[in-house]
Amino acid sequence: MKAIRRFTVRTVLPEPLRQLEELVLNLRWSWHHETLDLFRAVDPALWEAVHHDPVRLLGEVAPERLAQLAEDRRFLRRLQDTAEDLHEYLTAPRWYQTLTGAPSSIAYFSPEYGITAALPQYSGGLGILAGDHLKTASDLGVPIIAVGLLYRHGYFSQSLSPDGWQLERYPPIDPNGLPLTLLREADGTPVRVAIGLPPGGAGRAGGAPGAAEPGAGGQELHAQVWLARVGRVPQLLLDSDVEDNDPAARDVTDRLYGGGGDHRLLQEMLLGIGGVRAIRAYCRITGHPAPEVFHTNEGHAGFLGLERIRELVSEHALTFDEALEATRAGTVFTTHTPVPAGIDRFPRELVARYFGGANEDPCVPAERVLALGAEDYPGGDRTVFNMAVMGMRLAQRVNGVSELHGEVSREMFGGLWGGFDTAEVPIGSITNGVHAGTWVAREILDLAAREIPALMASGRGWEEVRDVPESEIWRIRGVLRERLVLDARRRLRESWRQRGASEAETSWIDDALDPNVLTIGFARRVPSYKRLTLMMSDPDRLRRILLDPDRPVQIVIAGKAHPADEGGKRLIQEIVRFSDREDVRHRIVFLPDYDMALGRLMVQGCDVWMNNPLRPLEACGTSGMKAALNGGLNLSIRDGWWDEWYDGQNGWAIPSADGLSTPDRRDALEAGALYELIEDHVAVTFYDRDSAGLPRRWLEMVKHTIATLGPKVLASRMLRDYVLDLYTPAAASEREMVADKYAGARALAGWKQRVAKAWPGVAVEHVESDGGESPQVGALLTVKAVVALGGLDPDDIAVEVAYGRVDDADALIDPAYLELGGAEPAGDGRLRCTGEVPLGRSGAFGYGVRVVPSHPMLSTRAEMGLVALPPAPHGMTNGDLR
């Protein structure tokens, strides 16, 4: 008989061991090896059986063992030291506390977080990045409050059918069995947040009308708030599985990225709107400073901006436009996808149903909501509501997650700033990084502590990696490779048995993989653009590479396809069927149920990390960074982070056949290049040994990789960039808006309305220049322009000349900009401006003149998307400079 309910009974610890619970409830243990050692000492065999989950450990350890530990003075001293170390970590000033002008607090919203495999609330790179962001914030003392959802079934557990088809299972998750506590009021009552729903509630479209109406015209969706401690960072996770909700509403947070349009929309409303309300409750209860900056990690949480607007309108009597300016000033939006299919887009009618009608809040009119997410630009789909577009309109600062991704994003979303060149679209980039404490093998950390103490103490001394004995690096690489091989065999055996194989049919697994063979890793989500099966473009050639008698290669593969992605599942099946072949199955394996634990083993144990997406569709690809920190070399298409940091000595770049119109031809060319690199470069370098048995050239590349990439790929570099380049300027803008009862927000909103209304009358009427027919390098070109102000004041606009090289079509290439001065009235509401353009290089040269809005509170000249250009063909003069 099956149980009708599953729950966790927590252990009552003896008084001397009570500090164990404090250690368990702070997720610092997930990256602090000394705390993990303490947990292991509780019961080493049980520690392995529960897969290093300390909550399960304490739930299953025998009372007799606890009683024994309560009398063990050595263990108690160790427990006391570890608890004191945690307290010191949580309270001592760190890097952030040395800054001036930084935000008092930052709210960080993400739909998923990869903190530890014991808290399965993530699906892929977005969540892993969010988890590393929080851990690094804790290490640096950055005062972040994180917000997400608690999914009662997580993402999914993956297994394989006998014929290699992906199967999904959603095991129930009991929050009481996780390192979480409920956020409670002072009287012990659990905190509840609620968001209003239209009549029909959280049911699917067309749900039963006539529900109770405690909210604005409809029922409400309620959620309780679970609190996780990620070191110094509080993480608030909203959970709709409460008795106040009907069954449909209770299922809103059932699983990550599950359900249809209504379901996803409700999740994102709860995350954004409910998340802001949860933060307000947390700050009220704990006295934590209210956030000055709100960071939206991808568009899923974009509705947080609407809730902040509602607060400002209802509590401070601002207009919608004034509240919008105040909200934008302190909001940072990070886009993580260069693939339009990766962006949540809802039918406009669906969004109108949830934000309009009887459920409409007068502070946030439905038509204004719909306008924020509208694709009302050339090439946009006017029938959809785009969450990323709304996120960008609600944020004054927007960034991609690598330099190349920033370029792709400027092209992808350039329509929001029509009239400006792609390079001027105000989307910057901060390249992702990874949390070393989570991803770097302990053996490597210990080696660094012995050989380069300055590196471990202060983060300096990366060049000293080159002085570490090569024999030590090679020894540790062998240890990590063997660990991966042994765990891969265990996982492979479990998978085959799940697929129905008998014990006799799995005997070959004892010899699967080889700790001494060049090991390539490939692990990621399985959308088509990541090309899981590119390596199988020529199966016979792949087989020859794997079975080479002198330079064999083995490949360890893992990855999950979205449950609704039939194409991705077929790719997995294709790989599995190939890896099932008796002649190669000891050299290529697919390991199901890719999670953080498996990912850590792979990035630590693989010699080479392979990545072959369709360029430029990989936003960043941080798994290759993790491999690099562990002494692995990258073999990758130049996409994401690898495009900007590949230097020819830290791995191999797979040539990309960009621009080919035939996908099969492109795949064939890039697969051929991949095979050639493995055969003629990667394998040759790995197996070229000296008399001591060391691959000297390989180890030189490993040292170079760690020394040069180490300071770049760390999340500490990434988060410092966020703090200095985005959070602190956003806080300054926020303070400027809030000061004197939001006078700044009121003034900017009024100015923007006036400028937008007058802009159709702004024009460049005349442009002329002097400097001769053939000016020489070093000369100055005088440019004069007459512009119509359209009723605006001269201070409302800037007249700029863009100048530089031109192509054959007279388009400016990477132009420089100069604001024309010497403004004087030209009659009839016109203005005459003059400036001198330096002619700094020879060759084809050109210039153009434009008018843009100008205000000290604008983050960029392109912020409003308004520009006035001269009518063609005037305003462009080019010629040869000699």
pLDDT surpassing 90 at residue 822: no
Q: 93-200+219-429 and 762-881: same fold?
A: no
**Residue 856: per-residue pLDDT:** 94
Task: Tell me the three state secondary structure of residue 410.
Answer: helix
Residues in the chain: 882
CB-CB contact of 96 with 143 (8 Å)? yes
Q: Where are the domains of the chain?
A: 15-89, 93-200+219-429, 467-709, 762-881
CB-CB contact of 320 with 311 (8 Å)? no
**d(Cα 519, Cα 51) in Å, to the nearest integer?**
24
Q: The domain 467-709 belongs to what CATH superfamily?
A: Glycogen Phosphorylase B; (3.40.50.2000)
Model pLDDT for residues 727-785, shown as the tens digit of each residue = 999 999 999 999 999 999 999 999 999 999 999 999 999 999 886 667 888 889 899 99
Within 10 A of 463 (CB to CB), how many other CB atoms are there? 14
**Residue 826: per-residue pLDDT:** 87
**Residue 180: per-residue pLDDT:** 96
Within 10 A of 451 (CB to CB), how many other CB atoms are there? 17
pLDDT surpassing 90 at residue 551: yes
Under the banding of pLDDT at 50, 70 and 90, the label for residue 658 is confident
**d(Cα 714, Cα 361) in Å, to the nearest integer?**
44
Task: Return the ∠ at Cα 646 (arms to 641 and 652), rounded to 5°.
Answer: 115
pLDDT surpassing 60 at residue 512: yes
CB-CB contact of 215 with 196 (8 Å)? yes
**Residue 9: per-residue pLDDT:** 61
- Phi, psi dihedrals of residue 451, rounded to the nearest 5°: -90, -30
CB-CB contact of 789 with 833 (8 Å)? no
Nearest-CA neighbor of 416 among 465, 454, 378? 378
CB-CB contact of 378 with 415 (8 Å)? yes
pLDDT above 70 covers a percentage of the chain that reads: 95
| Average pLDDT, rounded, for the chain | 92
Amino acid at 517: V
Phi-psi region of 201 (alpha: psi -120 to 50; beta: other; left: phi over 0): left
* Distance from the first to the final alpha carbon of the chain: 90
Cβ partners under 8 Å of residue 217, min gap 6: 196, 198, 199, 357, 358, 359, 360
Mean pLDDT of 260-270: 93
**Residue 250: per-residue pLDDT:** 95
CB-CB contact of 462 with 685 (8 Å)? no
Cβ partners under 8 Å of residue 431, min gap 6: 401, 402, 403, 620, 641, 644, 712, 718
* Beta bridge pairs of residue 385: 346, 374
pLDDT surpassing 50 at residue 407: yes
pLDDT surpassing 60 at residue 216: no
Joined together, the tokens standing for residue 602 give: 């792979």
**Residue 204: per-residue pLDDT:** 45
pLDDT surpassing 70 at residue 640: yes
pLDDT surpassing 80 at residue 28: yes
Mean pLDDT of 154-178: 93
> Of the ranges 212-221, 476-485, 503-512, which one carries the lowest mean pLDDT score?
212-221
**Residue 590: per-residue pLDDT:** 97
Model pLDDT for residues 589-633, shown as the tens digit of each residue = 999 999 999 999 999 999 999 999 999 999 999 999 999 999 999
pLDDT surpassing 50 at residue 549: yes
pLDDT surpassing 90 at residue 873: no
Pinpoint the alpha helices (H) of 374-452. 387-393, 403-412, 436-439, 442-451
Nearest-CA neighbor of 850 among 803, 810, 800, 812? 800
**Residue 881: per-residue pLDDT:** 39
**Residue 453: per-residue pLDDT:** 87
Nearest-CA neighbor of 587 among 557, 554, 615? 554
**d(Cα 401, Cα 298) in Å, to the nearest integer?**
11
Mean pLDDT of 466-470: 95
Model pLDDT for residues 76-99, shown as the tens digit of each residue = 999 999 999 999 999 999 999 999
Cβ partners under 8 Å of residue 466, min gap 6: 703, 704, 707
Compute the half-sphere exposure of residue 139: CA atoms within 13 Å on the CB side of its CA: 25
523 vs 661: which has the higher pLDDT: 523
Class of domain 93-200+219-429: alpha beta
Please tell me the CATH code under which domain 762-881 is placed.
Answer: 2.60.40
C-alpha 679, offset from chain centre: 34
